[in-house]
Amino acid sequence: MMNMFLVAIVLLLAFLLIGIVLYVRVPRKYQSADSVANSYDDWTNDGILEFYWGEHIHLGHYGSPPRTKDFLKAKSDFVHEMVRWGGLDKLPSGTTVLDVGCGIGGSSRMLAREYGFAVTGVTLSPQQVRRAQELTSPEVNARFQVDDALALSFPDASFDVVWSVEAGPHMPDKAQFARELMRVLKPGGILIVADWNQRDDRQVPLNFWEKPVMRQLLDQWSHPAFSSIEGFSELLEATGLVAGEVTTADWTAETLPSWLDSIWQGIARPAGLVRFGVSGFMKSLREVPTILLMRLAFGTGLCRFGMFRAVHARVPTSARLSAQTDDRLVRS
């Protein structure tokens, strides 16, 4: 019995060592939009991420203050909390919504099914689009297509709501991302974004240990950069399309349990080992160091979970300023 226990410990340590070696030697740095799409295609095709994370490939909401909650329920609760925070629950049935970075369509389906919205989901990944379509029944008013968030194929003023969850870190040009989100929004429409953010290093620079941690978080999951909450708010306002100010909130505490819970899923659901075999186990094990670094970063203030809400101005700021200038010239 003791010998079997020792063998199990040795095997576990061996797997852990292999995982660490793979983690260090095979980073997945951002190269282009194609590298992001290929990564999500791969995770979608093998089914591992969907098996453990369900249809929502984003963090969960555990309440304020956080409490113990089922991992998958926390993810669906996140969508409801985001709807309420953004005031979308007051919008009528038939409201048109663009879900930017829709994954396999979990949020899109909830918005369509439970709030009566007409949802269009876009992602860079053709395989995510395929899987989203497979999971969406005909009576659910949600459709999906491949599109680039930095060059959306829709005309100006196409949607009542633009919704995006955890897509921003993959965007190499945050200013262009902000412009596109606001461009396709109708005047008076609502933008609501939830994203991973770095602490604003203009206020508090990264220290000696935070710099290498941040570099790993970028390199391991194809992220060119994280915005800060303050920085992305400024980029949205700089579009000249925001009425008033951008509303923000910090949901770090509410989402923080997601990181360790995601690791626990691999332990609590051993059927995954049978289903995906040793190669699937090694692929999942490889993600553990990054998840732990994420927990460290969000737990210590290096990263923050930012919420953003903006209303599209009925008259762009530039047009208002031009009109005010013309009016002053006439009066003078």
What tens digit of pLDDT does each residue of 170-210 get? Answer: 999 999 999 999 999 999 999 999 999 999 999 999 999 99
Domain that holds residue 280: 28-324
Q: Does residue 4 lie within any of the structural domains?
A: no
Beta carbons of 276 and 153 less than 8 angstroms apart: no
Pairing of strands 142-146, 118-123: parallel
Could you give the number of structural domains in the chain? Answer: 1
Report pLDDT digits (tens) over 105-136. Answer: 999 999 999 999 999 999 999 999 999 999 99
What would the mean pLDDT of 138-159 be, rounded to a whole number?
98
* CATH number, position 54: 3.40.50.150
Four-residue CA torsion sign, 187, 190, 193, 199: positive
What angle do the packed helices 258-268 and 71-86 form, to 10 degrees?
150
Supply the pTM of this predicted model. 0.89
- Does 88 have pLDDT greater than 90? yes
Q: Tell me whether residue 66 is exposed, middle or buried, using C-beta atoms within 10 angstroms of its C-beta: 0 to 12, 13 to 18, 19 or more.
A: middle
202-245 pLDDT, tens digit each: 999 999 999 999 999 999 998 999 999 999 999 999 999 999 99
Mean pLDDT across the chain: 90
